[in-house]
Amino acid sequence: MAETRARVSHYLLLWLLLAPALLWLFGLIVMPHLDLALLSFRERVGPGEYAFGLAQYRTFFGEPLYWDVFVRTALISLVATALTLLLAFPIAWTIAKLTRGRLSALLFAVCLIPFWVSETVRTLGWMILLRETGVLPGLLVTLGLTEAPIEMLYHDATILVGLVYTSLLFMVVPLYGSLESLDDSLIEAAYDLGGNGLTVLRTVVIPHALPGITAGCIVVFMLTLGNYLTASLLGGKNSLWFTEQIYTQFITRFNWEQGAAFGFLLLALSSAMVWLGLRLSGQRFSDVMSRT
């Protein structure tokens, strides 16, 4: 009897502790999404009159433009994720394995410092550096490398630079976690057994770090896919980012129905990509999430 009561109170406590998080989840994520789902299946028939219909999704598949932007956003996000991984791996390795104590903390701080200012300021910083009358083109002219200043803004490459810079930290942290837990003696043993740098990396380091790599890639991919500011400011007249389309539909076109449908398509895309990434890397969602 006493045992059941203790059990009940244990569960009660658990639910009580979970209640704020559940409220949060339900009130701020599930509810608005249900509302958006309903909205996306509406079509306008007259002023202030709406009917159920699939017109919004038909527009998406019927107008090649939206489809192109959708695919483009996904591809650039994938490239940005891959670049971030390539760049973050040596950094995480240096912090986790090659440095100790103070120096390693300092390196972490260096990665973190850019995040002390807001994303807008960071992006504007890039604009000051890269615009035609900006710092970098001016420097190239002074050094005699180019004759006239070149415009470095408004290219796809500029968007990539901005996206990689913005997401670097979110890759370094999970990578650091998984690399730090790798016992140094395993690496030494691999070398003793005749492995070279490449085989050690391939057979010992990467398999051990895979949950961290997957976790970092998922976070960075989601962040870039949903990024609005970097793509629209650095991309200029050709930026064409899908979140920008969603914003435009909601705010400048007053077409909430279309915007809601786009939002759901983006959600479907990111879920599909995460599922695919987990399948390909052979990881389990729960393992990966415990690393982030």
Partner 1 sequence: MNSRLVNSRLVGTIRRRVIAVTGLAALLSMSLAATPAAAQASGTLRIITWADYVPADVAAQFTKETGIKVEVALSNNEEMISKLRATRGAGFDLAQPSQDRIAGPQQEFGIYKPIDLAKVRTERIQPDLLATVRRNATVGGKLYALPYVWGAEGLVVNTKRTKINDYLDLCRPDLKGRTSVRLRRPTLMAFAFAMGKDPFALYGNRPAYTALMEQVGAKLISCKANFRFFFDNRDQLLNGMRSGELHAAMMWDSGGWRLNRENPDIQFIAPKSGALGWLDTYALPARGKNEAAAYAWINFTLRPDIAARIAKSIGNFSAAKDADKLTDPVLRAQFAASFPDGFKSVRWYPAIPPGLEEIEGRILDRVKAAQ
Binding flag, residue 253, partner 1 (CB under 8 A): yes
Binding flag, residue 238, partner 1 (CB under 8 A): yes
Binding flag, residue 77, partner 1 (CB under 8 A): no
Judged by beta carbon, residue 17 or residue 198, the one nearer partner 1 is 17
Residue type, 152: M
Q: How many CA atoms lie within 13 A of 70 on its CB side?
A: 18
Contact with partner 1 (CB under 8 A) among 4, 142, 196, 252: 252
Judged by beta carbon, residue 224 or residue 249, the one nearer partner 1 is 249
Cα separation of 130 and 138, whole Å?
A: 9
Judged by beta carbon, residue 83 or residue 158, the one nearer partner 1 is 158
Site for partner 1 in 47-66 (CB under 8 A): 47-48, 63, 65-66
Q: Give the Å distances, CA to CA, from 212 to 79, 141, 219, 272, 279.
A: 19, 43, 11, 20, 15
Q: Least Å distance between CB 149 and partner 1?
A: 9
Binding flag, residue 250, partner 1 (CB under 8 A): yes
Cα separation of 111 and 91, whole Å?
A: 9
Site for partner 1 in 134-173 (CB under 8 A): 151, 154
Cβ-contact 97, 177 below 8 angstroms: no
Site for partner 1 in 181-210 (CB under 8 A): none
Q: Locate 207 and state its tokens.
A: 């398999």
Cβ-contact 60, 66 below 8 angstroms: yes
Contact with partner 1 (CB under 8 A) among 6, 8, 14, 23: 23
The C-alpha angle with vertex 90 and arms to 84 and 91, in degrees rounded to 5, equals 80
The site for partner 1 (CB under 8 A) is made up of 17, 20-21, 23-24, 44, 47-48, 63, 65-66, 68-69, 131-133, 151, 154, 177, 236-238, 240, 245, 248-255, 290
